Structure 1
Amino acid sequence: MKKSKERVSFNNSVFKISAIIVTLFALWGVISPGGLAKNASAVASYINHSFGWFYLASVAGFVAFCLFLAFSKYGSIKLGQEHEKPEFSFFAWISMLFAAGFGAGIVFWGVAEPLTHFANPPLSGIEPKSAEAARVAMNYSFFNWGFHQWSVFTIVGLALAYFQFRKKSKLLVSETLGEVSKKRISSKLKTSINILAVIATVTGVATSLGMGVLQINAGLNYVFSFPNNPWMQVGIVGVMFILYTLSAITGVDKGIKILSNTNMFLVIGFMLFFLFKGPTVFILESFVLAVGDYLHNFVQMSFYLTPYSGDKWVHDWTIFYWAWVITWSPFVGSFVARISRGRTIREFVIGVLIIPPVIAFMWMAIFGGTGLYMDLFQNTALSEAVSKDVATAIFVFLQQFPLYGILSLLMLVLIMIFLVTSADSTIYVLGIMTSDGNENPSNAVKAIWGVLIAAITAVLIISSGLEGLQSVALIAALPFTVIMILISISLFKSMYSEQKAEKQDHVNITTQRKAQ
């Protein structure tokens, strides 16, 4: 029986076509890295410039829709049968959400982003490296890592969880669109949608892993004088491949959960250490002020564009972020859905939309806030170091503290665990996507995706094609934004119909009792 299931997994169209497309992209990167980067970058730049307004409006709408679901009558709907309880503890659930959704990005940008905005303010008329620049830098760092980003994951994850656990559908993106139209979606269109989700996931994670590997190598070079070259980076990919494949094969309730919990303990440990070792009062004050600024400017920042001045900052940062997380949403949404059975919609939205961003705010305030304090009051020139090499920013920051070597080693471990948890969650989800929604994909399928992701990451590092693949990932965000809007419509229509049917059943039962 097991062999039969594996044979079906290998023979389905989504697996074969998406694997071929991903392999061809990798080969293009090897044969003509410049050609891939040039063509993909041109298309991605056009989309970013021409459809930035569409990304901003759509993601703002996703935030509003999530809040509506959480605090409306639909919030009490359980993702599963009424008697079902959550499979994972709250801490384990949040740990897995955080690790899968942020990956190593929060470590990479925790110091670098506030200091980058500090040196190059997002708003015109603000003097670089001034107190006002620091305030705006923290405000926009919160915004870029806040509720908008997680609303995208919430929409996709909630729809997948609702239709699978409530309506007994498969854990596939195409299955969330059944309520959009009365006409049945053709199998070819479903296959195309699922292939797009797979390609977006692979290109997104391969690029992120590549950048994470570059950061690990930069840290090893900066702290321990290891060589910084492509072959060293390929070796890091190899170590990472072994770790994430073993973790994914052992399953969600073992490998992925254990790594995610370890990851969260390290995150909490780092935050507590630097909160009390750094300028504690300054960190707390900057956190409170940034939260206030974030909430006060929430609507304005949500729709901020610069058609009159022609400034490109919002396109380079906010719109880039929104497109990037939309590209990641099939993976994160699928993983979040898989681990959220038994929770109510209200629990789901609050847990996914609110809690991970709040943890990110604390990380940004502690690390970014301390970095700003050092530049403002201690003249450490961290912002200059960041502008020279973003990848080493966190290690330059750590150098300002005692136990520098130990802290750097632990930070490298944290980055590696972040990368491994992102990768193992990804190959698990890719296994589901390419096994016709089977919630327990075969180890063979997961291993193949593990090999493909490692190979693509290594090839692109050697051929310097990361920029090209990143652009390819961003191109996939545009059609997937349209799909997300349709998913939202389908989800609402299905919940509305369910509530209406339950209300009618209640009326019928009451009428029958009265008749008796």
Structure 2
Amino acid sequence: MKRLLGKNATVFWGSIIFTGIFSIWAVARPIGMTSTLWHWLGLYNQTFSWFTMPMPIILLFICLYLAFGKFGHVKLGRPEDKPELSTFAWIGTLFTAGIGIGIVNFGVAEPLVHYLQSPQGIAAAGTSPAQAAENGFKYSMFIWGLPAWAIYTMAGLVIGYFAYYKGAKFLPGTPIENGFSDKKWGHSVAMITSITAAGAASLTIAAHIAIGIFQMQNAFTAITGQKFEQLSDSLILLVIMFVIYTGAAVLPIQKGMGRLGEINTIVAIGLMIFVFLLSDAPMIMRLVTENIRHAFLDVVPVAFTTFPFQDQTWFDSWPNTITIWWVSWTPFLGIFIARISKGRTIRQIVTMSILVPTFFLIIWFSVFAGNGFWDAFFGDGKILKFIAENPENVYLSFIMVLQQLPGFSITGIVFLLLVVIFLATATTSSMISISIMTSNGPENAPRNRTILWSIITTMIAFANIVTGTLDGIKAVGVIIGIPFMFFIFLSISGMYRQMQADYKAGLITRPRRQDQ
């Protein structure tokens, strides 16, 4: 208790207050809170939606500049430091922590939603079903591909450089405080950034846990045919998940997150290969080829397409809002990415953490959403019809694809396992990060603080499930992403200022030929 009341407890208590205010508001006035926050988001979109889509492309080019310029050889850590995780475990951990169960929730639905709703979808005049389907994949590749991973990677680099190269604290505000140490406002803005980050992280991951519990209940119902919708069922699943992600969070990185990342990657790849073998393989491979083009060549045109003379409903609610949602994850993912990337160079981090997940998602969406479109064009169209009629439950389309293929008695269990591990991995990474943030930024998360935040976040998730306030908590996450777009660019500016100063001082030297 004495440590909590010390001079370094500002972020801890500030984040507790932040979390408490929004949690109480969500439970006491769920409808009012949700409508208020979405109204604020609407005001932002009316004025600044033109900026949201190009923003991650700017970050992507900054990442490429850092990776392939004079700073690319800089290692996060001392020259003799070696990576704590194998490359496979590192990529698997980074990928599953960054995406969570999102690729399960939207691995089928995302392109189909764009097919139905986007201005370039099936409802657009003169657009054929084939063109609408291609456009659906094009926007899915933008939302889940290079832009998303550029946001995450940049968040990790700005913290990792100061924490491992300069010996600073693992705090979201560190790049601002240290990069602008000559400015009077540097410390205050950094403190606000860290407090907001820790509180928002707890609320964001609570919504993530609640969504995961709903998915697990749906999986149990689909596999067994028995209803699994009682509050007691939710509580049982929540307790099981609490034990898994809390246990993993208090273990060393290699034993906790490293193992979860490896298992999750293997299970996901195994399920994807199995479904591919049961699908129309030539069609899937044609989709993979198309989606490579969408992911790498169409990304800039999509970023600068804002539909100024068309209805903005889809544009605001999907590409814009999801991009902001990715930004809302950066406070804790940035710390986590920095923490697991010790011993790796900026060039390694940028190339591996952006390209590998993007290629995986190209194949993932081609396989699973490809089956959704196959059903729409050549089957009974039940999946597309369900998505059109149930916009709030589109994530059930993933199970529907598995049910239409042979072997659901096996794939259904694998799907459930995948949801459990994805949920555990994302939650574990967030618990580690929140613990670090609220403990004044040590390299390793204190166990007691980790357990405390795990309990707090799980209680918020349970309150969301009981009261049905999930939309309100999700709205908090999206709204918090708006100021963090500003914080990210301020952090980048702070890092670049420090890098230039270190370069001029001779602390960063040009690499020898064998180091390049």
Q: Same fold (TM over 0.5)?
A: yes
Counterpart residue type for residue 390 of structure 1:
V
Q: Deviations over 1:62-113 (max 9, x none)?
A: 1111111112121111111222221211001001101100000011100111
Please state whether the residue corresponding to 1:502 is helix, strand or coil.
Answer: coil
Selected match of 1:115 from 96, 112, 115: 112
Q: Identify which of 417, 423, 431 aligns with 1:419.
A: 423
1:216 aligns with 2:216: yes
Q: CA deviation at 1:426?
A: 0.7
Cα shift at 1:441: 2.6
SS in 1 for 2:13: helix
Q: Residue 118 of structure 1 contacts residue 128 of structure 1 at CA under 8 Å; is this kept in 2?
A: no
Note if contact 2:235-2:462 (Cα within 8 Å) is conserved in structure 1: yes
Are the equivalent residues in 2 in contact too, given 1:131–1:376 (CA < 8 A)? Answer: no
Would you say the 8 A contact 2:402–2:411 is kept in 1? yes
* 1:15 CA displacement: 0.8
2:446 is matched with: 442
Distance 1:406 1:158, change over 3 A: same
Shift of 1:377: 2.0
Q: CA RMSD in A?
A: 2.1
| 1:416-441 Cα deviation digits (max 9, x unpaired) | 11011111111111000000001223
1:353 CA drift (Å)? 1.7
Judge conservation of contact 1:33–1:465 (CA < 8 Å) in 2: yes
2:463 pairs with 1:459? yes
Distance 1:408 1:14 in 2: 43
CA shift, 1:11, in A, is 6.6
Describe the shift of the 1:85–1:251 C-alpha distance in structure 2 as closer, same or farther (beyond 3 A): closer
1:503 CA displacement = 8.5
For residues 111-130 of structure 1, give each alpha carbon's deviation from its aligned partner in whole angstroms, at most 9, with x where no partner exists. 11122223334416366881
Q: Give SS of 1:182's match.
A: coil
Per the alignment, residue 514 of structure 2 pairs with: none
Cα contact 1:259–1:421 (8 A) shared by 2: yes
Q: Does 1:501 align with 2:505?
A: yes
1:13 aligned partner: 10
1:407 matched to 2:411? The reply is yes
Distance 1:296 1:354 in 2: 14
Shift of 1:180: 3.6
Moved more, 179-188 or 73-82: 179-188
Question: Are the equivalent residues in 2 in contact too, given 1:173–1:193 (CA < 8 A)?
Answer: yes
**1:335-389: CA deviations, max 9, x gaps?**
0000001111100111222211221111111111122122212334321123333
Which residue is 2:201 aligned to?
201
State the one-letter code of the partner of 1:220. F
Aligned counterpart in structure 1 of residue 75 of structure 2, from 70, 75, 78? 78
Identity across matched positions, percent: 29
Whichever residue aligns with residue 454 of structure 2, its letter is: G
How far apart are 1:289 and its partner, in Å?
Answer: 1.2
Q: Distance in 1 between matches of 2:6 and 2:215?
A: 35
User: What corresponds to 1:46 in structure 2?
Assistant: 43
Equivalent residue number for residue 172 of structure 2: 173
| 475 and 121 in structure 1: CA distance in 2 versus 1, 3 angstrom threshold | closer
CA distance in 2, matches of 1:375, 1:127: 19
1:95 equivalent in structure 2: 92
Q: Distance in 2 between matches of 1:253 and 1:57?
A: 36
1:161 pairs with 2:168: no
Deviates more, 1:292-301 or 1:147-156: 292-301
Q: Which amino acid aligns with 2:102?
A: G
Q: How many residues align?
A: 503
Q: Map Cα deviations across residues 159-184 of structure 1 (whole Å, 9 max, x no partner).
A: 11111111110111111112246325
Which moves more between the two structures, 53-62 or 159-168?
53-62
Q: In structure 2, what is the equivalent of residue 310 of structure 1?
A: 311
Q: Measure, in 2, the Cα distance between the counterparts of 1:50 and 1:465.
A: 28
Shift of 1:7: 4.9
Deviation at 1:257, TM superposition (A): 1.2
Contact preservation (8 Å) 1:80, 1:341: yes
Q: What amino acid is aligned across from residue 88 of structure 2 in structure 1?
A: F
Given that 2:145 and 2:295 are in contact with CA atoms closer than 8 Å, whether structure 1 keeps it comes out as no
Shift of 1:401: 1.3
Report the counterpart of residue 512 of structure 1 in structure 2. none
For structure 1, the residue ranges without an aligned partner over 5 or more in a row are: 507-516
The question of whether the paired residues in 1 share the 8 Å contact of 2:18 and 2:196 is answered with: no
Name the amino acid aligned to 2:495: L
- Residue 186 of structure 1 deviates from its aligned partner by 5.4
Q: CA deviation at 1:325?
A: 0.6
Compute the displacement of 1:133 (Å).
Answer: 1.4
- 3-state SS of the aligned residue for 2:71? helix
Q: Which amino acid aligns with 2:458?
A: A
Q: Distance in 2 between matches of 1:197 and 1:238?
A: 26
Higher helix share: 1
Q: TM-score, normalised by structure 1?
A: 0.92
